[in-house]
Amino acid sequence: MTDAIRESELPAEPGALRKRKILIVEDEFVNREILIAMLVSEYEMIPAESGAEAEKILSRQCAELSLVLLDLNLPDRHGLDILRGMKADPCTAKIPVIILTSDKEAEVECLNLGAIDFIPKPYPIQKVVQARVRRTIELSEDRDLIRNTERDHLTGLYTQEYFYRYAAQYDTFNPDVPTDALVLDINRFQMVNERFGKQYADGVLARIGQAIAAALGAGGGIACRRSADVFLVYCPHLTDWRAFLDGIVDAACGADRGRIRIRLGVCSETDKSLEMQTRFDRAKYAADTVRGSFKDCIAFYDKTLHEKEVFDERLLDGFRAAIDGKQFKVYFQPKYDIRPEKPVLCGAEALVRWIHPELGFISPGVFIPLFENNGLIGTLDRYVWREAVRQVGEWKKQYGRCVPVSVNVSRIDMLEPDLVDTLKELVKGCGLEYGDLHLEITESAYTEDAKQIVSTVNSMRDTGFVIEMDDFGSGYSSLNMISTLPIDVLKLDMMIIRNAFRENGNVKILKVIFEIAETLEVPMIAEGVETEEQMKALRDMGCEMVQGYYFAPPLPAEGFEKHIGDWLSETKPHA
Ligand code: C2E
Ligand code: MG
Ligand code: MG
């Protein structure tokens, strides 16, 4: 017998539907031919007269089959073994199976193994057979359709929309079960994509999905993939989240454990009067508090976090009015060239402060990370750049000399396509040269999306802006990488200075860093210098510039003018 197709009509017109294919596994010639005759007008019938032949067709054509009609008594196999094999193989597990049998006893076992229906022998009339076959195929296709819309194709977990629906349903059926809302987020997933490739990264996501589903198996609960690398889990209250997270990381990452770090935000014993989404927003809020942290990777949404969230909301609500009402003030902190015996002013960093009408003075350490997370940073930064450049332009007109000013450029600003044009317009509009504006880009920005950032920085630098790498030493860039990055100045992270100069601190590390800067032929600014002793030690190590409280804190424009005045009088040519 061949596995030739009996009825292989091609569609009459292009685009017309092909007939659905049915595999009929039946060794008895007459039985097989009767069934084929009953169904061939509607379906493409593929006959197999032995178990071996059926398995061959299943392995070659599983994706095309709409149904299998399976006899239990085959010469070389028992039909149940074929059924068992089909259900165990993910490629064939979803093909519906109707059993052809005269043995009533076998029905329960067949149903337990995943068969959908039976056609008894001798066969009923044609209409009945056709109706059973049609209904089984329809049901299976409906189920697949539902599955495809409900599930994320990569992980097999629910999509967000269905997840929220089923989570609410879970509450309806289990009103008294305390539940947890969990958010799992992969740290710096963009880096995993970039370093190891999309295929590898997709594999990680798929394995995490499977590991979550397996972890929930015993205790119950549901999960979804909310966006690229964010997973949500709604489950009966857990007590050992560490074990839960470790289990998932072990199962999903195995030997690659070191490459993947997942942070877990927990909204424990959720308040069921809250919207489902709010519970997960809270868990996400908690997860974001340990973003990038190497120590803690589990965070709980508690009273303190709730208060912080309410405070953050207040800041976010007040943002627009603050921009319109000029509540943001740009301060200037001087940078000094320390190579001469008497240090000389060589620039300033523009640093924003918020003078809030009700909350008073708010430091950027409080609101910058918030605005970075909420997409408002672009508006604020443009405001600060404009103010800073306008002020320096005015000083240039007033004093006839220019104090180069550096502004902070957020990682998110770097994604704006018109960034370079905006900066060019600002500078030219205030009568400055491109070189009078320095751009501070944090080291971590370079490591997050290296290709895109490097190409933007290159175009800024080609225009003539001076590029300073901010917080150097706090990120993760390798020396190899730094030597290829477009940078004009390295700004040493304040923590490195602080650690080096504290009691029992290690000043040697500073020496090594300055040697690196020398090798790269890039000048170094040390930030956060607070004493004369620190300034002198840094000078001895070859540090060119210093910014810090030793010279001055960030000052309002009027306060900074004193530094300009001193500079002009000291560097004035002698008569
Ligand atoms: P940064 O750019 O590294 O700025 C240096 C920070 O160190 C400033 O904190 C400054 O006040 C502080 N500092 C300077 N000298 C000393 C010192 O001797 N001792 C101590 N303890 N601190 C010193 P600030 O102004 O609170 O700013 C914090 C961070 O907020 C900045 O770090 C920057 O990342 C961000 N930031 C500030 N203004 C802006 C802005 O306009 N846009 C953006 N995107 N970020 C900004
Ligand atoms: Mg800075
Ligand atoms: Mg800095």
Residues 101 and 232 in one domain: no
Ligand 1 pocket check for 471: Cβ under 6 Å = yes
Query: What residues have a C-beta under 5 A from ligand 2, the ion?
Result: 408, 440, 470
Ligand 1 atom 33, closest CA: 408
What are the pLDDT tens digits along the chain (575 aa)? 334 344 333 444 444 557 899 999 999 999 999 999 999 999 999 999 999 999 999 999 988 999 999 999 999 999 999 999 999 888 899 899 999 988 888 888 888 889 999 999 889 999 999 999 999 999 998 888 888 889 998 999 999 999 999 999 999 999 999 999 999 999 888 888 888 889 999 999 999 999 999 998 767 899 999 988 999 999 999 989 999 999 898 888 877 777 788 999 999 999 999 999 999 999 999 999 888 777 669 999 999 999 999 999 999 999 999 999 999 999 999 999 999 999 999 999 999 999 999 999 999 999 999 999 888 999 999 999 999 999 999 999 999 999 999 999 998 899 899 999 999 999 999 999 999 999 999 887 877 667 788 899 999 999 999 999 999 887 666 677 777 788 999 999 999 999 898 888 888 888 888 888 888 899 999 999 999 999 999 999 999 999 999 999 999 999 999 999 999 988 765 54
User: In total, how many domains does the chain have?
Assistant: 3
Of 301, 330, 362, the domain-final residue: 301
Q: Is residue 63 part of a domain?
A: yes
Q: Which tokens go with 133?
A: 């076959």
Residues 185 and 246 in one domain: yes
Distance CA 283, CA 292 (A): 16
Of 269, 301, 333, the domain-final residue: 301
For residue 458, give the CATH number of its domain.
3.20.20.450
Residues 142 and 171 in one domain: no
Q: Is residue 567 part of a domain?
A: no
Ligand 1, atom nearest to 549 Cα: 18
Ligand 1, atom nearest to 351 Cα: 38
Residues 373 and 497 in one domain: yes
SS3 category, 44: strand
Q: Is residue 574 part of a domain?
A: no
Query: 351 C-alpha vs ligand 1 centroid, how far in Å?
Result: 6
How remote is the C-alpha of 465 from its chain's centroid?
A: 31
Ligand 1 pocket check for 410: Cβ under 6 Å = yes
Query: 197 C-alpha vs ligand 3 centroid, how far in Å?
Result: 32
Ligand 1 pocket check for 393: Cβ under 6 Å = no
Q: Is residue 571 part of a domain?
A: no
Determine the residue type at 189.
Answer: F
Ligand 1 pocket check for 531: Cβ under 6 Å = no
Residues 295 and 325 in one domain: no
Ligand 1 pocket check for 384: Cβ under 6 Å = yes
Residues 355 and 496 in one domain: yes
Which residues constitute the domain of residue 464?
Answer: 317-560
Ligand 1 pocket check for 527: Cβ under 6 Å = yes
Indicate the helix (H) or strand (E) that contains 70.
strand 65-71
Residues 456 and 548 in one domain: yes
CA distance readout (Å), 14 to 7, 11, 37, 261, 366: 18, 7, 27, 51, 63
Ligand nearest to the CA of 330: 1
Ligand nearest to the CA of 366: 1
* Beta strand extents in 202-286 (DSSP E only): 222-227, 230-236, 262-267
Residues 254 and 191 in one domain: yes
Ligand 1 pocket check for 554: Cβ under 6 Å = yes
Residues 128 and 201 in one domain: no
Q: Which tokens go with 167?
A: 């989570």
Ligand 1 atom 35, closest CA: 364
Q: Is residue 312 part of a domain?
A: no
Q: Is residue 108 part of a domain?
A: yes
Ligand 1 pocket check for 66: Cβ under 6 Å = no
Ligand nearest to the CA of 548: 1
Ligand 1 pocket check for 351: Cβ under 6 Å = yes
Q: What are phi and psi of 557, to 5 degrees?
A: -50, -45
With CA atoms as reference, report the closest residue to 329 among 482, 557, 162, 570.
557
Ligand 1 pocket check for 408: Cβ under 6 Å = yes
For residue 210, give the CATH number of its domain.
3.30.70.270
Query: 295 C-alpha vs ligand 2 centroid, how far in Å?
Result: 25
Q: Is residue 306 part of a domain?
A: no
Residues 543 and 504 in one domain: yes
Q: What are phi and psi of 266, to 5 degrees?
A: -120, 125
Q: Is residue 463 part of a domain?
A: yes
Edge-to-edge strand list for the sheet holding 21-25: 44-48, 21-25, 65-71, 97-101, 117-120
Q: Which tokens go with 490?
A: 């390295």
Ligand 1, atom nearest to 352 Cα: 38
Ligand 1 pocket check for 450: Cβ under 6 Å = no
For residue 119, give the CATH number of its domain.
3.40.50.2300
Could you give the count of Cα atoms lying within 13 Å of 375 in the half-sphere of its Cβ? 1
Residues 262 and 382 in one domain: no
Query: 430 C-alpha vs ligand 2 centroid, how far in Å?
Result: 22
Task: List CB contacts of 299: < 8 A, sequence separation 6 or more.
Answer: 263, 264, 265, 266, 286, 287, 289, 290, 305
How remote is the C-alpha of 514 from its chain's centroid?
A: 35
Hey, which of 354, 363, 387, 494 would you mutate to test ligand 1's pocket, going by the most ligand atoms within 8 Å of its Cβ?
494
With CA atoms as reference, report the closest residue to 542 among 511, 503, 502.
511
Of 99, 122, 150, the domain-final residue: 150
Hey, which of 323, 351, 361 would you mutate to test ligand 1's pocket, going by the most ligand atoms within 8 Å of its Cβ?
351
Residues 363 and 475 in one domain: yes
Ligand 1, atom nearest to 372 Cα: 44
